[in-house]
Chain A
Amino acid sequence: MAEEIKTTCLHDNHVALGALMTPFAGFDMPIQYKGIVEEHNAVRTNVGVFDVSHMGEVAVTGPEAEKFVNYIFTNDIKDAEIGKVFYGMMLYPDGGTVDDLLVYKMGENDFFLVINAANIDKDVAWINEQAANFDVKVENQSDYYAQLAVQGPEGENTIKNVLDLDGSDLTFYTVKKVQYDGETIILSRTGYTGEDGFEIYASHKAIVKMWNLLMDAGVQPCGLGCRDTLRFEVGLPLYGDELTAEISPIMATLGMFVKLDKEGGFIGRDACAQQKAEGSAKKLVGLELHDKAIPRHGYEVLQGDKVVGYVTTGYRGISVDKSLAFALVDRAAGTLGNELSVRIRKKVFPATVVKKRFYTTSYKK
């Protein structure tokens, strides 16, 4: 029997805007309003706003909060400044990925974890299980917080002019609490598009108010369709495609977010260290096709006649006019510059192994 589908506090607004709605991660979410290409380009060249209220939020506080979060997280948050944001993963002992997430340091021993919507129940159970031996409080705040992502080069001006939120003092991957309409909200300079931008976490009431102000100001609403094309072009992974319980961050070539030498270790550390030392059997690579045919998730990747892997995500790029893919392939086949091929329906198309970042980003450092 199908589970009941959830909605965000902006669901009625999306429907009224004529959005194409599709179930995603248990939520009925907007895929597009005007069209994926237009929305994608709005974010690259101007500004767009996404309802990402489906994302999960977990607060971890208490005397051992820093020690605990550092133990379940691959990046190193020890002694970080308040207001820093970290990207990394939670891992199983075998190095497989529980989820990728952002960790916000809101205060000393006060952390705010932003997790994928599809993984909320699994992650909260996992975090609670690991927390048994630590003096911490774990609180799932996903039902309280709604979230907007205002993304694009005009993001800073937009939140200032339309929402009266000052983000000018935030550098990329930092966060602060601000007052809005009588409540304390969270504002960070983060995103999932490869562009400058902000993410805003607040009550349903405040988020609906902000959304309406942004719509009245003519800001382009953007759906999950272009969220995926935007993140793909700049080499960002999506949990479920590039990171899974079977795909470690080392295999996904995200080792820079895995601090093997940090104090106290972390769950999954030894498996990652071994994969790094010995070379994981599989690795994630970028592929550029020489043809216009489009590789899609699950298509076979070949070296000569031999299947060496599969496509995890593929698109005809929008900002980059090429057919591109991420693919998980045998390590030996994944050397930069190698000539592989992708089976697309009945034909096989040549593809070159390239770097996963297909489009150059423009963040405010």
Chain B
Amino acid sequence: MSKIIDGLYYSESHEYVKVDGEFGYIGITDYAQHELGNVVYVDMPEVDDEVAAGEEFGAVESVKAASDLLSPVSGTVVEVNEALEDEPGLINKDAFENWIIKVELSDKSELDDLMDAAAYKAMIGE
């Protein structure tokens, strides 16, 4: 059974946003890391890049395949999780602790389009 954290916002493509004031930490869910298997590479944007809700901002790759990362929200990248460059497998250890990018949110109303923990839990059938 996958870990799901209350208070986060979830997308249909298995990304989460953890909101902290004007900022959001974006990563993939525990369910997603489990489905992927061993994560061997995370393709991340650069600081100051713009991301848009529903648009690709990078990829997370298992041994077998690359999966696009879709941003749940729009904004400007203010930080990327550099630890993932050397140790992408951190996502398998704890997907919620090991966020991928930190974004300055440009439109917090977009959060209303995302799922809460209960809705996400229902979507993945757990």
Contacts and interface: CB of A to CB of B under 8 A. Distances in A.
Given A36-B38, A293-B43, A318 B63 contact: yes
Nearest to A346: B56
Contacts of A35: 37-38
Interface of B: 37-38, 40-41, 43, 56, 59, 61-66, 85
Interface string A53-81: 00000000000000000000000000000
A266 to B, nearest CB: 36
Main secondary structure of the interface of B (DSSP, over half): strand
Nearest to A295: B66
Interface string A315-347: 110100001000000000000000000001100
Interface in A25-39: 31-32, 35-37
Given A32-B37, A345-B59, A292 B85 contact: yes
A296 interface: yes
Contacts of A315: 63
Contacts of A31: 64
Nearest to B92: A35
Contact of B63 (A229, A293, A323, A345): A229
A316 B63 contact: yes
Nearest to B68: A345
Main secondary structure of the interface of A (DSSP, over half): mixed
A211 to B, nearest CB: 23
Contacts, number: 36
A20 B35 CA distance: 10
9 contacts: A36-B63, A37-B38, A225-B63, A225-B64, A292-B85, A296-B66, A316-B40, A316-B41, A323-B41
Interface of A: 20, 31-32, 35-37, 225, 229, 292-294, 296, 315-316, 318, 323, 344-345
A294 to B, nearest CB: 5
B83 to A, nearest CB: 14
A339 B75 CA distance: 37
Contact of B41 (A20, A36, A229, A292): A292
Given A37-B38, A315-B63, A345-B43, 9 more contacts: A20-B37, A31-B64, A35-B38, A36-B64, A225-B64, A229-B63, A293-B43, A316-B41, A318-B63
Interface centre among A36, A294, A315 (most CB of B within 10 A): A294
Q: Give the top 3 A-B pairs by smallest Cβ distance, nearest first.
A: A316-B40, A36-B63, A37-B38
A37 B63 contact: yes
Contacts of B37: 20, 32, 35-36
Contacts of B64: 31, 36, 225
A43 to B, nearest CB: 14
Contacts of A345: 43, 56, 59
B66 A294 contact: yes
A189 B112 CA distance: 61
A56 B20 CA distance: 58
